[in-house]
Amino acid sequence: MSEITLGILGGGQLGSMLSVAANKLKIKTIIYTDDKEAPAQKFCDEFICGDYNDKIKIYEFAKKVDFITFEFENIPFQTLNELNKLKTVSPKPSINRLIQHRLAEKDFVNKLNIRTTRYVHIQNKEDLLTLEDFLPGILKTTTMGYDGKGQYPINSIEEIDSLNIDFKKDYILEKLVKLKKEISVIITRFRNNKYEIYEPIENKHKDQILRHSKIPAEISKKLFNQSKEWAILIAEELKYIGTLCIEFFIDRNENLYVNEIAPRVHNSGHLTINAYNVSQFENHVRAVCALKQITLKKISNAEMFNLIGNQITRYRENPKLNHNQYLFDYLKKEIKDKRKMGHLTILK
Ligand code: ADP
Ligand code: MG
């Protein structure tokens, strides 16, 4: 083992895959999460379960590690900030705070002259009633949303009452884009103008949950280049360290929009584990632990299927795979509807 220990906040499957990548580099991982059932405990070297606001436990965690990162966005800013005074947190806490908030995130992207969907801040029901222009649209909580949680598709003003929206929360209303395709670009930034970037990945969602990703994305050369340029611009502007994912929409007129930024490794990048010489997870570990940057090379085209809910069952019962197939079971105890249980990558 090397002398390096990486602390990871969050214990989901992204934490598991970061731990596996770190171990390959002989780096020890300690996971800190508030979920005692967290799947990453089966993959990390040490597991600490505690509240994200538990100052004593958080301090003990910090003492044990050399570098700190996070695998999900919704960690209290205060906690990240306090940790950053003790050990380097990458990406830096201020980036997480910006991106955690859908409104701040979209304002930031627009300031770079990068197109986003049309959006408006909604603080109460009255705000909604005059916004016919933004319909059909999607109402999204400004914070704490993922996998479509906290989202309400709205087609008409008349529908609003039947949706039982909790107006104690803050929202944005986004105009629905007539989607032709969704893509994502994953980039790992090491320092000023030093980065590795993966080619755009084409993604299919159902009920706002990612189902399928593939490379190459079937898009024009123009969009291929533009999405990468925008990803580089965003990563540079944030002075980001680590792996970052930009989700894009492409509409029927071939316009590109940034949908959202994920300040972490991303589900659409799981295929990089098998399709590239260095995965998004390994690149993240390399960047946040200040290790050597390696030039990225694609080994194969690939596609990835998320295994949601009981889609995992047949693979657990019969794990036999073809030579070009790779199964990842997240080893979550309980199978739940809409829960990401594993994924299957197929090299092409
Ligand atoms: P999450 O944080 O849950 O990933 P997103 O904002 O990325 O939320 O929305 C999830 C999915 O819902 C998107 O990938 C897309 O398929 C669909 N979606 C969200 N917003 C819009 C929009 N304005 N127009 C069209 N589709 C949308
Ligand atoms: Mg998303």
Condensed to tens digits (0 to 9), the pLDDT of residues 98-153 reads 999 999 999 999 999 999 999 999 999 888 888 889 999 999 999 887 777 889 99
Is the pTM higher than 0.85? The answer reads yes
Which H helix or E strand runs over 242? strand 242-251
The alpha carbon of 110 and the centre of ligand 2 are apart by a number of angstroms equal to: 18
The alpha carbon of 208 and the centre of ligand 1 are apart by a number of angstroms equal to: 6
**C-alpha to C-alpha distance for 88 and 235, rounded to whole angstroms:** 18
Atom of ligand 1 nearest to the CA of 150: 3
pLDDT for the residue numbered 89: 98
Report the percent of the chain where pLDDT is more than 90.
89
Which H helix or E strand runs over 93? helix 93-100
**C-alpha to C-alpha distance for 310 and 27, rounded to whole angstroms:** 34
The alpha carbon of 138 and the centre of ligand 1 are apart by a number of angstroms equal to: 8
Per the CB < 8 A criterion, the answer to whether 237 and 193 are in contact is no
The protein residue whose alpha carbon is closest to atom 22 in ligand 1 is 176
Residue of 106, 178, 208 to mutate, ligand 1, most atoms within 8 A of C-beta: 208
pLDDT tens-digit profile of 45-102?
A: 999 999 999 999 999 999 999 999 999 988 999 999 999 999 999 999 999 999 999 9
Per the CB < 8 A criterion, the answer to whether 306 and 212 are in contact is yes
Mean of the per-residue pLDDT values of the chain: 96
The protein residue whose alpha carbon is closest to atom 14 in ligand 1 is 208
pLDDT for the residue numbered 29: 98
The alpha carbon of 80 and the centre of ligand 1 are apart by a number of angstroms equal to: 27
DSSP 304: E
Written in H, E and C, the secondary structure of 183-241 is EEEEEEEEECCEEEECCCEEEEEECCEEEEEEECCCCCHHHHHHHHHHHHHHHHHHCCC
Six token digits for residue 45: 């070297």
pLDDT tens-digit profile of 158-174?
A: 998 898 889 999 999 99
Residue 300 has pLDDT above 80, yes or no: yes
The finding on whether 31 has its CB within 6 A of some atom of ligand 1 is no
Q: Please name the amino acid found at residue 126.
A: E
Pairing of strands 209-215, 67-70: unpaired
Six token digits for residue 145: 């949303």
Give the list of residues 6+ apart from residue 346 with CB closer than 8 angstroms, or none: 302, 303, 304, 305, 322, 324, 325, 326
pLDDT for the residue numbered 149: 81
Per the CB < 8 A criterion, the answer to whether 161 and 191 are in contact is no
Residue 2 has pLDDT above 70, yes or no: no
Residue 1: pLDDT band (50, 70, 90) is low
The protein residue whose alpha carbon is closest to atom 5 in ligand 1 is 148
Task: Tell me the residues surrounding ligand 2 (ion) with CB < 5 Å.
Answer: 247
Per the CB < 8 A criterion, the answer to whether 131 and 120 are in contact is yes
pLDDT for the residue numbered 25: 97
DSSP string, 117-171: --EEEE-SHHHHHT-GGG-SEEEEESSS--TTTTEEEE--GGGGGGG---TTS-E
The protein residue whose alpha carbon is closest to atom 1 in ligand 1 is 146
The finding on whether 147 has its CB within 6 A of some atom of ligand 1 is yes
- Which one of the ligands is nearest to 209 CA? 1
Atom of ligand 1 nearest to the CA of 175: 23
The protein residue whose alpha carbon is closest to atom 13 in ligand 1 is 208
**C-alpha to C-alpha distance for 139 and 71, rounded to whole angstroms:** 25
Question: Residue holding tokens 């030093």?
Answer: 194
Atom of ligand 1 nearest to the CA of 205: 16
The finding on whether 179 has its CB within 6 A of some atom of ligand 1 is yes
